[in-house]
Structure 1
Amino acid sequence: MKLELLQLMSPSLPIGAFSYSEGLEWLVQNKKVYDETTLFNWIESELSRGQITIEASSISHLMRDLANWSDHTDVQYKLIIEEWNSWLGSLRDSPEVRSQQKQMGESLLQLLIDLDHPLPDHEKKLIWPIAWAWAGVCLDITQIDMVEGYLYSWVANQLSAALRLLSLGPTKAQKLQKKSLVLIKSQASYLLEQNPKEIWVSDVGAIMAQQSHVELYSRLFRS
């Protein structure tokens, strides 16, 4: 693994990921998630059949198309990326998560501009999975590492949110992160070979939690 990937996965990366719970706060307040077992079940379910699987499967395709756009700076390649942006964004049923994806994507693309890795025309109105893939192209990170990193970062952010919502403790969180590694690796290898447009997901509960978060009387995390 390249050290650049560790920088991308760092919780100090200034993209605002720490301020979102992606529905976990609603699940905790409604006692759907209340301990380390139910928390891990939630994480395992999303890694196995959540919408994140489509995004992770798209990473390798996005890296190829972004590299083509960067090399040729032709409008046809830009249109391909815009189509990905529209399609991936539309898969997120919750407007709260769509807003999150836009904010995090723009923040990472701005950071890459500041690090001398701009997209053509300094484009930055793209969502999170595309920004993540572009970072992989810029930093010359392998596709499998980028897919694993995408899934790992999502788990780490969920555990970070759980530390503020549950009586969990950092040691138990680290145990859960370690417990997730086998599934992350197997899913990354599987998703790398899949066509993202042929993947079916079944995470209605997650969608409902994400949409309901904004209705909470009080919130720690952004909607």
Structure 2
Amino acid sequence: MTTSRLRLFQLVSPALPVGAFSYAEGLEALVQAGRLQDASAVASWIEAELRRGMLAVEAAWLPQLMVASVAELCERDRWLLAMREAPEVRAQQRQMGASLLRLLADLGFEPPRLDLAWPVAFALAGRALQLPALELVEAYLFGWTANQLSAAVRLVPLGSTEAQRLQLSLAPLIAERAVELAAADPRDLWNGGVGAGIAQLRHAELYSRLFRS
């Protein structure tokens, strides 16, 4: 196993101190509304986001962000953040991005001293760790999926074994989408995750909640 592969594992580890566990990105609102009540519904939700959501657009930008100039990073960061409708999700991406960049600095990688959101910070982590672009895209999709399933275990509720079964069943789609998105021109893509945007906006209106988005 190569060192780069081990570094990739570290980047998607649940031990990465960026606070991803505290966010559900609209999943909680959907569960409370009765839209996600079993494993099949959760799988369909995740599949839709992998195929048509803003997640896919962000992932497609990663290869270009890995080689972008500082000016290009800042411009694309503002654009990607503006594509997220919910203030909670924008705050989430800012917090996670700042945490990841701070971690890279603490590890001695000297990332740009910029306030960047999660997708751009993730690309800079891939650059610092010298990861192949395709594997970074795959890791971005895998990490998001794993985090959604972790939230579903606590919210649906979904048993941990069932969550692992879903993670296995989604692996071929993640691999397929990673190849497609790594080769795509992200300017040709569009965000079809309207339902996700609405769910993320409604999360702020919940009377009680476990997650921050």
TM-score range, shorter chain: over 0.9
Q: Which amino acid aligns with 1:42?
A: W
Cα distance in 1 for partners of 2:45, 2:72 equals 34
Cα distance in 2 for partners of 1:80, 1:59 equals 12
Deviation of residue 79 (structure 1)? 1.4
Q: Which amino acid aligns with 1:106?
A: A
Q: Deviations over 1:166-208 (max 9, x none)?
A: 2311110000001111110110000011111210121111100
Residue 127 (structure 1) aligned to one of 117, 120, 142: 117
Residue 25 (structure 2) aligned to one of 22, 26, 41: 22
Q: How does 1:40-119 map to 2 (within 5 A)?
A: 40-65=43-68, 77-119=69-111
Q: TM-score, normalised by structure 1?
A: 0.92
Q: Deviations over 1:9-51 (max 9, x none)?
A: 0111100000000000000000100000000000000000000
Q: Deviations over 1:95-153 (max 9, x none)?
A: 11111110100000000000001224xx1410101111111111111001000000000
Q: Which amino acid aligns with 1:193?
A: A
Cα distance in 1 for partners of 2:187, 2:151 equals 30
Q: Which amino acid aligns with 1:18?
A: F
Structure 2's unaligned 5+ residue stretches are: none
Asked whether the 8 Å contact 1:7–1:13 carries over to 2, the reply is: yes
Structure-2 change in CA distance of 1:124 and 1:79 (3 Å): closer
Residue 39 (structure 2) aligned to one of 19, 24, 36: 36
Cα distance in 2 for partners of 1:103, 1:20 equals 11
Asked whether the 8 Å contact 1:105–1:128 carries over to 2, the reply is: yes
Residue 178 (structure 1) aligned to one of 153, 168, 176: 168
Cα distance in 1 for partners of 2:148, 2:6 equals 23
Q: Aligned residues, how many?
A: 210
